[in-house]
Amino acid sequence: MPSELEKSIAKTAAYFSIFSYPLTSFEIWKWLSEPDREYSLFEVRNALEKSEFLKKMLETDCGFFFLRGAGISIRERNERTADSHRKFKRLKRVARFLSLIPWIDGIAACNTLAWSHTTEKSDIDLLIITQPNSLWSARLFAVLPFALLHQRPHERARDPLCFSFFLNSDAMDLSKIKLKDDPYLSAWVPSVVPVFDRGNVFDEFWQANLWVKQLFPNSFPVFASANRRVGLKLFSMNAPKWLESFLKRIQMRRMPASLSEQAKAGIGVVINNDMIKLYSADRREEIAERWRKEIEKY
């Protein structure tokens, strides 16, 4: 019978294999799933080196580990990492402009870019945190210039910008949209890569979402390197109430009816004064089901 540590390592590898994402031993330790106790990096590396169970479950190549038979390519991860470097350069230029908007307190890369696992056609997905009561004002001033320049998905083939997640800094706890079984969101929160942070808003974001440690207790937030961060920090302010209300009405009128309908379910699409989350193809339930079916084998 495998030990609890061996099972946790196998579960972690199984989860990331869903995304064809091989892991280093450090990454396995960081994302160790539901361990029965705290394990050191040394213990994880020792298990990976010596465990007969893990040698049967996992393949290793160039220091990376992944589920046996998953067909994962280390070369592909390296190519995707290289592509993400270019995307972060573009994101930094975009963030310089967005940081001038006084209602925006934080900008982060999320989804595949946060994992440095992109292709040329992958979106540059953004999480934008706004001043209280300024969500709709910030969204319009952030999105409109890039919409006019045709820089959004389906308008630009290479490195399109996806403004699909805006969050009010007074309501950053994402447990309200968490599914009962939601490994994706639990891994998503620590993975976001801040590129602009006014007033340490991402520290507050992390503190508001410590519930993710129930599944991934070793996880911690990302601190972007200096060459990926925007240092310009001008004044910030709340949007006037009349302007916020007016700009919300304008944007709601232009919101596709399909998104408004999906918003009633409040899972993939959320539209309110605290959060605008426009992920119409939300795969969290599918991912959780695939993962649980795989780990039932252990």
For 34, counting Cβ atoms within 10 Å of its Cβ (0-12 exposed, 13-18 middle, 19+ buried), the class is middle
Q: What is the pLDDT of residue 234?
A: 67
CATH code for the part of the protein at 4-72: 1.10.10
Which residues 6+ apart lie within 8 Å of 131 measured at CB?
Answer: 102, 103, 104, 105, 138, 169, 236, 237, 238, 239
Q: Indicate where the chain has its CATH 1.10.10 domain(s).
A: 4-72
* Token pair 């070369």 in the structure block, residue: 75
Q: What is the pLDDT of residue 153?
A: 86
Rounded CA gap, 233 and 247, in Å?
24
Rounded CA gap, 47 and 160, in Å?
42
Residue 60 structure tokens: 């290793």
Q: What is the pLDDT of residue 112?
A: 96
Question: Average pLDDT of the chain?
Answer: 93
Burial 36-58 (b: 16+ CB within 10 A, else e): eeebeeeebeebbeebebbeebb
Q: What is the pLDDT of residue 156?
A: 82
Q: What is the pLDDT of residue 294?
A: 87
Q: What is the pLDDT of residue 54?
A: 96
CATH code for the part of the protein at 83-283: 3.30.460.10
Q: Indicate where the chain has its CATH 3.30.460.10 domain(s).
A: 83-283
* Angle, CA 294 vertex, CA 84 and CA 298 arms, to 5°: 120
In single-letter form, the type of residue at position 231 comes to G
Q: Are 297 and 12 in contact (CB under 8 A)?
A: no
pLDDT along the chain (298 residues), means of 10: 94 96 97 96 97 95 92 93 96 95 96 96 96 97 95 87 96 95 97 95 97 97 82 77 96 89 79 92 92 84
